[in-house]
C-alpha cells in the first residue's frame, strides 16, 4: 500500500478536520493577501494624490551675486556671471538616465507686460505639462489651444472686468481668499478678449482663486511669451515632478546637474518623504497584522495536529507493527499537511483578493484598481504550505517516535 493512498484516505475520512485546518490557513493567508493588495493600491493612490503637490525639483539659472555696503549703508547687490536657461536645457533634462522616472518637466518664462493698461506678471508655459503639474487648478473655461489664447488669474481677471459673480453668489466672488475652493463655481467669464503686451488675445479661461501668486498672473503659450518679451528660446525656471515609488530624487538632482552644469538644481523633498513614510507605515502595518494572523493559524494547526496524533495512536501503532518505518509515518502525515495547506493557500488568496476589491472603495478614490498578480498568488500558496509544514514538524516527529509495542495496546 502506498503512503500517498493512505494519506488521501485519511483526508476523506476526516473531512471536517481537514476543512477546519484549511479554513484556518485560508483566513491567515486571506488577511495577508487583502492587506498587501490594499497597500499596493494605496501606494498608487498616495502617489497620485502627492502629484498634486507639484514640482519637487526646481531648475533655475546659475548666477553669482555680491552684496554692497558703503559707509555702513547697504545698497543693492550686483549679480554677475549669470547664465540663462533655454529650451535646450528643458530637452536636456529628458536625456538623463532616470528620465523614465520623471512625471512632468514644465519649463516657463516669467516677465512683466501690460494687460489692459496695467503692469502684470506673465508666465509662458507649456500648458500640457503645466496643467499636469498644477492639478489643484480649477479652470472656469478651458485650456488654451492656440498661441493667441491666455489663462487669467482670478485677481487679474477681476481687475480687468473679465468675470462676474453668478446670481446669489456675489459675496463669495468678492471675498478675497475666504472662498478659494468655491471660486471656480461662483463666477462666469464675461469678456472674450484682452490686450496683453499690446496684442489682443482671447481669454480661454480663468483660474479659480488659489490664494497664491497665480491669482495675479497671466498664463500664455511659452513661444508667444518669448516673442512678447523679446527673449526667444529663453527660460526663467524649469519645474520637474519626479514622484514615483522609492524615487531616487538625490540621484536625479545629480544627473540633472551633470546635464546642466550652468544651472542651480534643488530638490524639494518634503512630498517625497511624506509619500515614502506613508507607504512604509502602510507596508509595516500590513506585515505585522499578516504575521499575527498567520501565527494564530499556525498555532491552530499545531494544536489540531497534536490532538490528531493522540487520536491516531492506534492507527500509527498498527502501521509501525506491520513494517512501516518512521520516515513512512512522517511522509504520510506531511502529505496530508501539504495538501491541506495548499488548499487553504488557494482559498485564502482568492478570498483575500475578493475582500480587498470589496474594501478598496472605502480607502481610495474612484478609479483605483486591485492588480491580479500571479506572483502574489504563488507567494500566498508558498507561505501557506510553509506555515503548515513548520507548525506540523513537532507533532509529526512525535507521531513517528511512537513505540509500536505501546501503540498496539490500544488495538
- What grid cell was written down for 300? 491552530
- What grid cell was written down for 257? 546637474
In which band, very low, low, confident or very high, does the pLDDT at 181 lie, cut at 50, 70 and 90? very low
| Termini Cα distance of the chain | 20
Q: How far apart are CA 246 and CA 196, in angstroms?
A: 43
- What grid cell was written down for 15? 473531512
**What pLDDT sits at residue 302?**
81
Is the pLDDT at 301 greater than 80, yes or no?
Answer: no
In which band, very low, low, confident or very high, does the pLDDT at 250 lie, cut at 50, 70 and 90? confident
What percent of the chain has a predicted confidence (pLDDT) above 70? 77
Q: How far apart are CA 370 and CA 358, in angstroms?
A: 10
* Residue 208 CA: distances (Å) to CA of 158, 176, 179, 180, 215: 11, 11, 10, 7, 8
**What pLDDT sits at residue 218?**
95
For the chain, give the mean pLDDT: 78
| pLDDT tens string 3-22 | 777 777 777 777 777 888 88
Name the H helices within 56-213. Answer: 87-93, 127-133, 154-159, 170-173
Q: pTM for this structure? A: 0.55
| pLDDT tens string 55-95 | 578 899 876 555 555 445 555 554 544 678 999 999 999 99
| pLDDT tens string 112-163 | 999 888 899 999 999 999 998 888 888 898 999 999 999 999 999 999 988 8
Classified as helix, coil or strand, 396 is helix
- The dihedrals phi and psi of 110, each to the nearest 5 degrees, come to -110, 145
In which band, very low, low, confident or very high, does the pLDDT at 177 lie, cut at 50, 70 and 90? very low
Q: 124: exposed, middle or buried (C-beta count within 10 Å: 0-12, 13-18, 19+)?
A: buried
* Residue 189 CA: distances (Å) to CA of 128, 221, 246, 279: 22, 20, 43, 42
**What pLDDT sits at residue 171?**
46
**What pLDDT sits at residue 16?**
79
Sorted by where each begins, the domain ranges of the chain are 3-50+276-410, 52-271
**What pLDDT sits at residue 63?**
67
**What pLDDT sits at residue 183?**
44
Q: Name the more confident of 46 and 101.
A: 101
* Residue 306 CA: distances (Å) to CA of 1, 15, 329, 385: 25, 17, 14, 18
Q: Which of 113, 114, 124, 174 is nearest to 151 (CA)?
A: 124
Is the pLDDT at 2 greater than 90, yes or no?
Answer: no
Lowest mean pLDDT segment, chosen from 20-29, 269-278, 345-354: 269-278
Q: Interior CA angle at 384 toward 383 and 388, to 5°?
A: 115
The answer to whether 92 and 226 have CB atoms below 8 angstroms apart is no
Count of H helices and E strands in the chain? 13, 16
Amino acid at each position: 500500500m502506498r503512503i500517498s493512498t493512505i494519506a488521501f484516505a485519511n483526508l476523506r475520512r476526516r473531512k471536517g478536520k481537514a476543512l477546519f485546518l484549511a479554513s484556518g490557513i485560508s483566513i491567515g493567508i486571506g488577511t495577508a493577501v487583502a492587506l498587501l493588495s490594499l497597500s499596493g493600491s494605496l501606494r498608487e493612490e498616495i502617489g497620485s494624490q502627492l502629484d498634486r503637490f507639484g514640482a519637487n525639483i526646481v531648475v533655475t539659472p546659475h548666477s553669482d551675486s555680491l552684496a554692497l555696503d558703503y559707509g555702513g549703508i547697504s545698497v543693492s547687490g550686483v549679480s554677475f556671471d549669470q547664465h540663462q536657461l533655454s529650451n535646450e536645457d528643458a530637452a536636456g533634462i529628458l536625456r538623463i538616465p532616470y528620465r523614465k522616472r520623471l512625471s512632468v518637466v514644465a519649463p516657463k518664462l516669467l516677465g512683466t507686460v501690460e494687460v489692459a493698461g496695467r503692469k502684470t506678471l506673465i508666465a509662458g508655459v507649456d500648458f500640457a505639462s503645466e496643467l499636469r503639474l498644477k492639478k489643484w487648478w480649477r479652470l472656469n473655461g478651458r485650456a488654451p489651444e492656440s498661441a493667441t489664447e491666455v489663462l487669467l488669474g482670478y485677481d487679474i481677471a477681476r481687475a480687468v472686468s473679465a468675470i462676474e459673480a453668478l446670481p446669489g453668489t456675489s459675496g463669495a466672488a468678492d471675498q478675497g481668499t475666504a472662498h478659494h475652493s468655491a471660486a471656480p463655481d461662483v463666477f462666469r467669464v464675461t469678456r472674450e478678449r484682452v490686450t496683453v503686451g499690446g496684442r489682443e488675445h482671447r481669454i480661454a479661461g480663468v483660474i479659480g482663486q488659489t490664494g497664491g501668486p497665480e491669482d495675479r498672473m497671466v498664463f500664455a503659450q511659452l513661444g508667444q511669451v518669448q516673442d512678447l518679451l523679446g527673449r526667444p528660446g529663453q527660460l526663467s525656471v524649469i519645474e520637474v515632478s519626479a514622484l514615483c515609488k522609492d524615487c531616487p530624487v538625490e540621484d536625479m538632482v545629480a544627473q540633472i546637474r551633470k546635464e546642466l552644469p550652468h544651472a542651480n538644481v534643488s530638490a524639494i523633498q518634503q512630498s517625497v518623504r511624506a509619500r515614502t513614510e506613508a507607504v512604509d507605515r502602510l507596508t509595516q502595518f500590513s506585515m505585522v497584522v499578516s504575521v499575527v494572523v498567520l501565527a494564530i493559524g499556525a498555532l491552530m494547526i499545531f494544536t489540531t495536529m497534536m490532538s490528531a496524533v493522540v487520536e491516531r495512536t492506534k492507527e500509527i501503532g498498527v502501521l509501525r507493527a506491520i513494517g512501516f518505518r518512521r520516515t513512512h509515518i512522517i511522509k504520510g502525515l506531511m502529505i496530508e499537511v501539504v495538501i491541506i495547506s495548499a488548499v487553504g493557500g488557494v482559498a485564502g488568496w482568492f478570498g483575500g483578493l475578493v475582500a480587498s476589491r470589496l474594501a478598496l472603495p472605502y480607502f481610495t478614490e474612484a478609479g483605483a484598481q486591485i492588480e491580479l498578480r500571479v506572483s502574489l498568488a504563488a507567494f500566498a500558496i508558498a507561505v501557506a504550505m510553509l506555515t503548515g509544514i513548520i507548525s506540523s514538524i513537532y507533532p509529526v516527529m512525535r507521531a513517528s517516535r511512537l513505540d509500536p509495542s505501546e501503540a498496539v495496546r490500544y488495538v
